[in-house]
Amino acid sequence: MVHFVGAGCGAADLITVRGARLLSEADVVIYAGSLVNPELLKGTKEGCEIHDSARMTLPEVLGVMERAEAEKKTIVRLHTGDPSLYGAIREQMDRLEEMGIAYDVCPGVSSFNGAAASLGAELTLPEVSQTVIITRMAGRTAVPERESFRSLAAHHSTMAVFLSAGLLEEMEEELKEAGYRPDTPAAIVYKATWPEEKAVRCTVSTLKETAEREGIRKTAMILIGNVLGTREENGYADSRLYAPDFTTGFRKGTDA
């Protein structure tokens, strides 16, 4: 059995309770060493076989899984953040299915969640944005044309941009073309929730210079949108849910 486990985005105690239990019970762990906090490996049992997938190909990863399964071992495939985002898990799951190997997935705290927490930001504010666009700039991995960065940015919804810290000049250009005011708030969060985290606020026109000044080149989450502004700037409304006059299934409001 293979358990795909989300390691969380950095701090070792951000793995879920379930993920930590699966890790502690595993006979074999294959972890994404480029981004998973190695401290998590301290939670494995004695004699656990550990592989760093940063140095492995897909066939090699599958080879380890196939052999370990034949030995009736429990395998954890530890991915950074939440495995469902840019995790390359689908290709593994499909191959496991072909091989008749059972698997399941344990979710994790994604880096966009970690970055929002570090900034103390709410990504969805009433009357500002009720949508989070999770995307990336096209790089070595292509992005389908119909979801080009510019066309998504045109919504002016909150954006959480992965895998794009090296493309900030292009990103600024796309945001400008999508009609953003140059002073629209943005933030760069480098290694969110790691000890070396850097969370810097900037604007959509100062992304590149901010990253350069801070020496940030990779492992960064770019958050964009008016939700990052002050209340004076974005004029967000309080929620209806907690408004005294609002009746819900759990509470009678003064409007009842």
Residue 192 CB, shortest distance to ligand SAH, in Å, is 3
Residue 49 CB, shortest distance to ligand SAH, in Å, is 24
Is 92 one of the binding residues for ligand SAH (CB under 6 A)? Answer: no
C-beta nearest to ligand SAH: residue: 81
Is 133 one of the binding residues for ligand SAH (CB under 6 A)? Answer: no
Residue 9 CB, shortest distance to ligand SAH, in Å, is 4
Is 116 one of the binding residues for ligand SAH (CB under 6 A)? Answer: no
Is 10 one of the binding residues for ligand SAH (CB under 6 A)? Answer: yes
- Give Cα 19 to chain centroid, integer Å: 16
Is 162 one of the binding residues for ligand SAH (CB under 6 A)? Answer: yes
Q: Which residues, in sequence order, are CB contacts of 216 under 8 Å at separation 6+? A: 165, 188, 190, 198
Which residues does residue 162 pair with via DSSP β-bridges, in sequence order? 136
Give the footprint of ligand SAH on residues 41-70 (CB under 6 A): none
Among 53, 110, 135, 157, binds ligand SAH (CB under 6 A): 110
Q: Tell me the number of residues near ligand SAH by CB under 6 A.
A: 23
Q: By the criterion CB under 6 A, which residues form the site for ligand SAH?
A: 9-10, 35, 80-82, 85-87, 110-111, 114-115, 162-163, 189, 191-194, 219-221
